[in-house]
Amino acid sequence: MRYAEITQRVAGLGSDKWAVHIEGKNRRAAGEKMIFLSIGEPDLPPAPAILDVAARQMKAGRTRYSSGQAEHNLLEVLARFYTKQTGRVIGEDQFLFLPGTQTALAVSFLAIIEPGDEVILFDPYYATYEAVVSAPGGKPVPVKLDPDNGFHLDLALLEKAITPKTKAILLNSPSNPTGAVFTAAEVAAIGALARKHDLWLVSDEVYATLVHEGHAFTSPFFDKTLEERVIVCSSISKSHALPGFRCGWIAASAEFCARVLPVSETLLFGSPAFLQDATAFALSHEFAETEKMRALYVARGRALLEGLSGSNRVSAHMPEGGMFVMVDVRKTGLSGEAFAFRLLREKGVVCMPGESFGAGGAGHLRVALTVDGDEMREAARAIAALAAGV
């Protein structure tokens, strides 16, 4: 049978990147004890009040077809949420509700990319970014971040990567996998280049609420002069520990949302109304559970660093935000992938190799902060022990 070219463009850009995680799951199913630090899935339960809203609204009949854009009550909440964030009036016509940040990213690139267009990715980058750019025919162009500078950006490298074919820059702050949070000055500089070269800025802000002490979140959407070219993609998956709800959105200009709504409706004509009600409730209230989650990510990061502190062959630094730590294993002489497979098979600890997130992650492991402090220290000791024996 004949298949569309898209199937070739994304071949190898999906589950292949998760080979270590998949092997770990198979070993656990066979009875082996495993410590899983491979998936960015919050391990703490969400606030019960949000679940109560979803259940109550579902039982109340909010199970029928909904608007292709979003329900009015959710649009109203999103408008208030972003008006408060940006300090200017954001209208209800500036949003599209979609099943998670991943779908929001995919829809965004379907809407702005023509075959042959280039999209700049800050490398290391999240594992699906290559696919969402390649699917509509775009070409990912990695700009390497410096691991010895906390994976922050060299602006000169970014400007050098821009060509007449460049269509967009994809940024993610706080970053998955690096934990870096771009400063206001960095975001302003990226915005200035986008304005100078007439580029789109696609901003993955799924970790925006998980910024650690001493750092501050800045979005290019905060700058009114960039509004026409900024596409924010976000969700409640990480902020409220609800990844299975698949509740995400695009925030952008009213023109973008009007033009792109028919594109999004080809994929999903209306998300479940009861989940939209739960999302509106989540974004309208503060929860002790989400505050606890943020504090635990910091404590677990410190536990990991404590467990690695005696090693002279592996190292890490505290993330500035998010729920991941990049562990540097370059001194062992192994690639991140080789180290990760040995760690899995010899020590029963499952981490993602840095190479799953681009060439810029080579020689690193991405560790998800999704187990308690004692288990995190145990995993850290296993990493240090393997490194010492290499």
CATH of the domain at 15: 3.90.1150.10
Question: What whole-number distance in Å separates Cα of residue 143 and Cα of residue 117?
Answer: 16
pLDDT in tens, the chain (390 residues): 999 999 999 988 777 789 999 999 999 999 999 999 999 999 999 999 999 999 999 999 999 999 999 999 999 999 999 999 999 999 999 999 999 999 999 999 999 999 999 999 999 999 999 999 999 999 999 999 999 999 999 999 999 999 999 999 999 999 999 999 999 999 999 999 999 999 999 999 999 999 999 999 999 999 999 999 999 999 999 999 999 999 999 999 999 999 999 999 999 998 999 999 999 999 999 999 999 999 999 999 999 999 999 899 999 999 999 999 999 999 999 999 999 999 999 999 999 999 999 999 999 999 999 999 999 999 999 999 999 988
pLDDT of residue 297: 97
Residue 352 in contact with residue 23, Cβ under 8 Å?
no
pLDDT of residue 12: 82
Question: What whole-number distance in Å separates Cα of residue 34 and Cα of residue 339?
Answer: 16
Residue 86's domain spans which residues?
Answer: 64-284
Last residue of a domain, one of 265, 284, 303: 284
pLDDT of residue 189: 97
Same domain, 330 and 224: no
Query: Does residue 100 fall inside a structural domain?
Result: yes
Last residue of a domain, one of 284, 315, 346: 284
Query: Does residue 51 fall inside a structural domain?
Result: no
Same domain, 268 and 215: yes
Same domain, 159 and 115: yes
Same domain, 230 and 294: no
pLDDT of residue 386: 97
Question: What whole-number distance in Å separates Cα of residue 41 and Cα of residue 122?
Answer: 22
Same domain, 23 and 115: no
Same domain, 171 and 315: no
pLDDT of residue 68: 92
Same domain, 347 and 267: no
Total tally of structural domains belonging to the chain:
2
Same domain, 273 and 140: yes
Last residue of a domain, one of 258, 284, 310: 284
Query: Does residue 57 fall inside a structural domain?
Result: no
Same domain, 86 and 194: yes
> What is the pTM for the complete model shown?
0.96
CATH of the domain at 209: 3.40.640.10
Same domain, 78 and 115: yes
In DSSP notation, 245-284 reads G--EEEE--HHHHHHHHHHHHHH-S---HHHHHHHHHHHH
Question: What whole-number distance in Å separates Cα of residue 172 and Cα of residue 145?
Answer: 12
Question: What whole-number distance in Å separates Cα of residue 368 and Cα of residue 363?
Answer: 17
Query: Does residue 223 fall inside a structural domain?
Result: yes
Query: Does residue 54 fall inside a structural domain?
Result: no
Same domain, 108 and 228: yes
Query: Does residue 52 fall inside a structural domain?
Result: no
Cβ partners under 8 Å of residue 302, min gap 6: 318
Query: Does residue 383 fall inside a structural domain?
Result: yes
Query: Does residue 53 fall inside a structural domain?
Result: no
Same domain, 277 and 304: no
